[in-house]
Amino acid sequence: MLYKAQDAVYNRIVSKRERPNAARRAGYKIEVILAELKSLAGRIGLEVREERLLREIGYQVRSGSCRVREQNLFFLDRDLPPASRMEALLDELSRRDLGAVYVSPELRRILGKDDRFDAQGA
């Protein structure tokens, strides 16, 4: 009986060490969503470039999109934390027409383009 109790305590301690904490899991999820957003941007013809955006006195530089010759670019400040980079891409992609490409249901919900809710709300 004593051994079973010790084994249960040991298993609980080991499993806590092996499991990543909530902050680490959230970081993984943000990175996965960020990668999926970059892939989605590429599929709609928007090239995402992570660059170190220069900051000088008098200039307030932010991530954003532009068109250079015939190419649509989105410059993403790589010095921003992952959550901020994700927000910048979400803002840009939520304004775009995504009807011609596949978007996973979770990402569609995050972007606010879930057709089921749009149809019910109308």
Considering only CA atoms, give the Rg of the chain.
21
- 91 has a pLDDT exceeding 60: yes
Mean pLDDT score across all residues of the chain: 77
pTM, to two decimals: 0.68
Answer whether residue 27 shows pLDDT above 90.
no
Q: How far is CA 54 from CA 8, 48, 69, in A?
A: 55, 17, 22
